[in-house]
Structure 1
Amino acid sequence: MGKKAHTRHVPKQQTKHRAAHNLTFGNELETQIDILLKLTTQTPNANVNKEFEAVKEIYAVLDKIRILENNIDSKYFRDDRSRLDVAILERFGTWLKEFGAKFEGTAIKEFDGYDLGLKAEVDIPVESLIIAVPRKLMLTVEAAKKSGLGHLIENDKIMQNMPNVALTIYLLFEKFSPDSFWEPYFNILPQNYSTVLYFNLEDLELLTGSPTFKSVLNQIKHISRQYAYFHKMISTAQDSACEVLRKRFTFKEYCWAVSTIMTRQNTIPSEDGKERVNALIPLWDMCNHTNGSISTDYNPELDRCECLAIKNFKAGDQLFIFYGPRTNADLFVHNGFVYEENEFDFYPLTLGVSQSDVLRDKRLEILGKLNIDLSVPFKLTKNSPPIDGDLLAFLRIFNMNEEQLNHWLSGDRCNDLTYSECALETVLEKKTWMFLQMRMKLLLSSYKTTLDEDLGMISNKNSCNKNLIIRLKVTEKRILYCVLEYAEQCLKQFI
């Protein structure tokens, strides 16, 4: 005869105390959620320093929410190093092969400075197939709509209009569901990321002066608002999917899911081929980034994503792919890394014509003829030359007097202003380059540290986040110095 289960008797009074505690906990959490929702729906401030003050208020509320959710959270996060366990990696590989993935001659390895990546175990020629992942293995928005989450997506406008958000909630739904098909994949995903959602206030302070600072603050505010919105929906909706989600839905989990989607998502053709849908592609998403060209495509006949080698790889090399032409600011905010050799990086320079400028209308008229849109920042690069024709034309037009403006308005050769060879008065050209020189010095002075100081601050003793921020500022300042040097070289002809 088997042993009886030992049941501990809980006095009625103790049960009442627990119920009261749970009610108090729930009420306090809901109060903080309401405050968070109010703070994150306020109109953004154009002044980045004032917007930072607003984010500090948001962080104070999030700190309280984290404490309240800590007991929910802590039970489900394992040691991040455990994902490197041989058994977990082998199970992931077996799962991939069982459902049709192809990755012969490669292995998942840890690389210094890259976390996990793919290693070539044999020589791999350029343009040869290195990875093939069938649709069955992918988490897609289409799969989400067919799952137990489908009813929620169908009735929620945010998830309908933002497929990346729908995929984020689906990722959590599957992670929280018992016996998920994707459990082997979840087990090899990081438990923490280097995205801006993991920055503390001290980290954010380091971004002062960077044009990326405002984007970072906007991202934090935006995701915090999403969390508050979905928390309220999940905690109140009478839906079976919400029952799965509400037991474990926390800010920590939402940040993890958002970061997973931001750093790993791609788009693939829908099942009917009529549109593209967001997807997580296991294994493919373990390839790290380098300069090159897109080498991934979808094979409709075999219904799978295929990735080709972008160059010849030797046995022992890490396999890289090209994520696309993205700036370091974009990679920093959405992927949590900076690529210092980025061929597509640029510094966004915002310029305009003052409302108080008595010659404003004439300047704007010439700019209009050149189709120069001042709502779009100009791009500063490390190329030669580091400024393009549109910026050159703007600088010239901005520094013209009324007589010069009338001259260019009366003719039909405004396009000549975009060329460095355009013959202009010496005084105007000198003013143009002096303006650019002073603007670069002003932008460099807006940072709290110099380039040399930044380079000296990068250290293994720093947090990953701190080094990442410093590296971003280094790439920005190098572009500014490149443009400054160019302006000073152009000025030398007038000495």
Structure 2
Amino acid sequence: MGKKAKNNKLVKSAGGAKRAVLMPLIKELYTTTSTVDKKPDIEEVYRLAQMIEEKQSSFIPPSYNLDRVQAANELIDHLKTEHKCSINAAAESDELGGVRLRLTDDCENNNTVLDIPIDACITTVNREEMTVLDACRTDPILGNMVNVQLALNLLFEVFENKNSKHYHYVRTLPSKPNTIVAQKLEDVLPLKGSSIWMESEPLLIAVHRQYARLYQMIAQSPVAGFDNLRNGFTLSAYKWAVQIVQTRQNGYPGVNHMELNDLVLIPVLDLCNHAFDSTVRIAQTGDDKFTGLKLSLTPKKEDLKSGSELTLKYSPSCSSEFFLHLGFIPDEIPNDASRLKLSLPKSGSDWRIALLQLLPIQSPFKIGKEHVSHDLVNFIRVFHMSEELAKIKFQDMKTAQSVDLSLGDEESKVFDFLLLRLRLMIANVDRCLEKCPEESLSKKLLQNERTNFTEASDYIRTLIE
């Protein structure tokens, strides 16, 4: 009874008089994160965010103080009973204290492990009463951000509590996802100077900008049905929802017959842990209409035996992507790589840009052990190319099926330049590591980045020896 009472009220009200106090800070946060003539200062963004969170009540996630394994198995029973779902799996604890799925009965290669109907998922398809989310769709800033819409849909269901048809599902979601959105400022700042910073900083600024805009939109909405969402829409709640979407979303094109992909959060299926050599894959079954669509798991390679763990290969393929979007980094990542960002010299940049657009080639580039892309090499060639040689290459591109951008006698400049740049990147990473907290995910990321740059340097030397 104690646990249920604690979860019946997910968050204290953030409305009323508090809204009048908060609104000036919210507007300042929006101005700070959306000014076009001045790059936002990440430390100022965090300062304003801290002031806002201190004036808001703490968000209590639905699974707080719950046994998520028990909640997951209750969800499975609920889906079998209410949605007539076919689910050949059960939840149990994994070695890290999380949740994993295991097969309950043998499954042949041509059979499905589970079928989840689309109406059991939280999606970017609005329910009729969710008119404030229709306003989000037509907003010039947020209209194309289906991930933001999904986060808002998720929070709507969370704050509806037992009145939500997804009540059993939201109780299975982790209470403390650990993507970069959850990181403290002291964990984030050491990333400055690393290749990941060019992705981290814009993402963090964008999340705060989205919240500030959404807060004002929801606060001004007259729709009575959104009182729970309006009163509970704190910054900590939005950050949690963003991370749930980051780590668990799946996309399918045209589910609601829009040009943009729709995003879905799929109950039970999202309990599958990651493995590069996964045991199951996601399939789409049923007709292409929203009401008839089912999202399924099928064995990937061969028949599965009872007790087999159900694992999926997540979309990230390198350390930085796992860090940014999933909040963990596997110990072993096949063909791990880091990003190397290069800029063109200011002198003669116009014709260089034109040549790169024709190819097309665009920075940044992934680089790692035995992984130096042709695009990266060609970018450096264009960087060092004379305008006279470029004109010849332009003419070749009009008739030739493939174009050789090599620099002839000056080709050695390409790899000399790349090795120098990698030495600089390694030096930058070393400085970042000195400031990084011990045992932090940021430190593991930077250590992997240093390894990637070092192994790329070693590989390049073997090529030119």
TM-score range, shorter chain: 0.7 to 0.9
Letter in 2 for 1:62: A
Instruction: Summarize the Cα distance change of 1:203–1:287 in structure 2 as closer, same or farther, 3 Å threshold.
Output: same
Looking at structure 1, the residues matched to 117 and 353 of structure 2 have their Cα atoms a distance apart, in angstroms, of 53
Taking the aligned partners of 1:364 and 1:225, their CA distance within structure 2 comes to 31
Partners of 1:217 and 1:329 in 2: CA distance: 13
> Which of 33, 55, 60 is equivalent to 2:47?
60
Identify the residue that residue 440 of structure 1 maps to in structure 2: 422
Indicate if the aligned counterparts of 1:380 and 1:479 stay in contact, CA closer than 8 A. yes
1:260 positional shift:
1.4
The amino acid of 2:46's aligned partner reads Y
**Corresponding residue to 2:346 among 335, 342, 355:** 355
Partner of 2:145: 162
Q: Does 296-305 or 278-287 show the bigger shift?
A: 296-305
- Conserved in 1, the CA contact under 8 Å of 2:69 and 2:92? no
**CA deviations over 1:197-244 (Å, ceiling 9, x no partner):** 211111102323322223222122111112112222222321123323
For the 8 Å contact 1:207–1:469, the answer to whether it is kept is yes
Which whole-Å deviations, capped at 9, do the CAs of 1:72-114 have from their partners, x for residues lacking one?
x36x44773513363x33321211211122221x221222247
Change (3 A) 1:484 1:68: same
Of 138, 141, 145, the match for 2:124? 141
Q: Taking structure 1 as reference, are residues 186 and 207 closer, same or farther at Cα in structure 2, changes over 3 Å only?
A: same
The aligned counterpart of 2:264 is: 279
Task: Call closer, same or farther: CA 1:297–1:44 in 2, change over 3 Å.
Answer: farther
Q: What CA distance in whole angstroms lies between the structure 2 residues aligned with 1:236 and 1:34?
A: 13
Which residue of 2 is the match for residue 388 of structure 1? 373
- Contact 2:25–2:48 (8 Å) recurs in 1: yes
Percent of residue pairs identical: 24
| TM-score, L = length of structure 2 | 0.81
Specify whether residues 85 and 349 from structure 1 end up closer, same or farther in structure 2 by C-alpha distance, changes over 3 A only: closer
Q: How far, CA to CA, are the matches of 2:53 and 2:234 in structure 1?
A: 8
Alignment pair present for 1:336 and 2:327: yes
Whole-angstrom distance in 2 between the partners of 1:401 and 1:196: 42
Q: Does residue 320 of structure 1 match 2:311?
A: yes
Matched with 1:206 is 190
Q: What's the counterpart of residue 220 of structure 1? A: 204
Contact 1:118/1:286 (<8 A) preserved: yes
**2:190–2:432 Cα contact (<8 Å) kept:** no
Q: 1:154 to 1:311 in 2, by over 3 A?
A: same
Cα distance change on mapping 1:127 and 1:424 into 2, 3 Å: farther
- For these two proteins, the number of residue pairs brought into alignment is 438
In structure 2, how many angstroms separate the alpha carbons of the residues matched to 1:226 and 1:440? Answer: 35
User: Which of 442, 448, 451 pairs up with 1:469?
Assistant: 442
Q: Report the equivalent of 2:7.
A: none
In the TM superposition, what is the alpha-carbon distance from 1:161 to its structure 2 partner?
A: 3.0
CA RMSD in angstroms, aligned pairs only: 3.5
**Which of the numbers 93, 103, 112 marks the counterpart of 1:129?**
112
Letter aligned with residue 42 of structure 1:
T
* Equivalent runs, 1:84-123 vs 2, <5 Å: 84=68, 86=70, 88-98=71-81, 99-104=83-88, 106-113=89-96, 115-122=98-105
The 3-state SS of whatever aligns with 2:376 is helix
Q: Deviations along 1:10-29, whole A, 9 cap, x unmatched?
A: xxxxxxxxxxx974x44322
Match of 1:31 among 8, 15, 24: 24
Superposition deviation, residue 325 in structure 1 = 5.9
C-alpha contact 2:72 2:268 (8 A) present in aligned 1: no
Q: Report if the CA contact (8 A) 2:63-2:171 is conserved.
A: no
1:291 pairs with one of 276, 281, 298: 276
Amino acid at match of 1:40: T
Note the residue ranges of structure 1 that are not aligned, 5 or more in a row.
1-20
SS at match of 1:352: coil
Match of 1:486 among 456, 459, 462: 459
2:251 aligned partner: 267
Structure 1 residues 367, 236: CA separation in 2 closer, same or farther (over 3 Å shift)?
Answer: closer
Alpha-carbon distance change, 126 to 329 in structure 1, aligned in 2, over 3 angstroms = farther
Residues 266-305 of structure 1, C-alpha deviation per residue, up to 9 Å, x if partnerless?
1246566676422111011111223358931211246311
Q: For residues 227 and 350 of structure 2, what CA distance do their matches in structure 1 show?
A: 60
AA at the equivalent of 2:68: L
Question: Contact 1:40 / 1:222 at 8 angstroms: preserved in 2?
Answer: yes
Question: Is 2:242 the partner of 1:254?
Answer: no
Residues 35 and 394 (structure 1 numbering): CA distance in 2 closer, same or farther, change over 3 Å? closer
Partner of 2:365: 378
Q: Does 1:242 align with 2:213?
A: no
For 1:297 and 1:159, locate their aligned partners in 2 and report how far apart those are by CA, in whole Å. 29
C-alpha distance in 1 between matches for 2:233 and 2:21:
16
